[in-house]
Amino acid sequence: MDRMFFRYESFRQYLRLYPLTSMILAANLIVYLLMLLTGQPKDTDTLIRFGAMVNEPPYRNEYWRYFTSMFVHIGFEHLLFNGFALFVFTPPMERIAGRLRYLILYLGSGLAGNLATVLLSPDPFVSAGASGAIYGIFGAFLYLILLRKDLFDQSARTTVYSMLGLGLVYSLAVPGVNFYAHAGGFAGGFLLLHILMHASRRS
């Protein structure tokens, strides 16, 4: 793994260097602990109560779920997988893009993933997790690799391509994974960074 994606910081350094990523990780953990205290994280009623996405009435018009579902996870394994990806792979984007653009990227990508799920999923679903937002950060990395090659050495590019390849295989091969959220989040992150960079140039 390239040094860019190697987390060598102490706890205090991590909090200081990546405050938004730290807050997102903390929010995911707090929501999960609250779910444990009041129900079962894999139980449908608990997931819906804490803000998971649902495309059936009476929940499908509760648009706040497009955002709250990013912080809800379906069991510890789900939280652990997404938490690891957040902890290791997203911090460099917070430094590269800047905090405001990073926050827009993260939330916008998660929103894009949820929109894609609602528009493209043919079946009723209950969906939750940070993976749409995380795949959006991966999409933003790909955008930078293609258009700002000066920011990455060969080792970093190889790491990003490996992440994307493994992410694609995981999205397609593992049962129960929300492929629409991953694909929508990825496309959203790619396009959002393009918009943010051009807006920054104009200003």
Please give the span between the terminal C-alpha atoms of the chain, in angstroms, as a whole number.
36
Catalogue the active-site residues.
131, 182
Judged against a pLDDT cut of 60, whether residue 170 lies above it is answered with yes
pLDDT at 2 (0 to 100): 60
Judged against a pLDDT cut of 60, whether residue 195 lies above it is answered with yes
Element (H, E) at 21: helix 19-38
Report the range out of 57-61, 138-142, 170-174 with the highest average pLDDT: 138-142
For residue range 127-165, list pLDDT tens digits in order: 999 999 999 999 999 999 998 877 788 888 898 899 999
Average pLDDT over residues 86-94: 95
Closest to 52 in 3D by CA, of 36, 70, 35, 37: 70
Listed range (83-92, 134-143, 165-174) with the worst mean pLDDT: 165-174
pLDDT at 176 (0 to 100): 83
Q: Which of the four pLDDT bands, split at 50, 70 and 90, describes residue 192? A: very high
Question: Residue 172: CB partners within 8 Å, gap ≥ 6?
Answer: 179
Average pLDDT over residues 177-192: 95
Closest to 49 in 3D by CA, of 57, 59, 195, 22: 59
Average pLDDT over residues 50-75: 94
What gap in Å lies between CA 164 and CA 104, rounded to an integer? Answer: 21
How far, in whole angstroms, is CA 161 from its chain's centroid?
Answer: 17
Domain ranges of the chain: 10-202
pTM for this prediction: 0.93
Residue 114 one-letter amino acid: N
Please state whether the peptide bond connecting residue 58 to the residue before it is cis, i.e. omega within 30 degrees of 0. yes
CA distances, 159 to each of 14, 73, 102 (Å): 21, 26, 20
Q: Please list the residues that pair with 54 across neighbouring strands.
A: 126
| pLDDT top residue among 202 and 30 | 30
CATH code that applies to domain 10-202: 1.20.1540.10
Q: Please list the residues that pair with 127 across neighbouring strands.
A: 53
Judged against a pLDDT cut of 60, whether residue 23 lies above it is answered with yes
pLDDT above 90 covers what percent of the chain?
Answer: 73
Q: What is the mean pLDDT of the chain?
A: 92
| pLDDT top residue among 14 and 202 | 14
What number of other Cβ atoms are within 10 A of residue 2's Cβ? 16
The DSSP secondary structure of 97-124, one letter per residue, reads H-HHHHHHHHHHHHHHHHHHHHHH--S-
pLDDT at 151 (0 to 100): 79
Judged against a pLDDT cut of 60, whether residue 47 lies above it is answered with yes
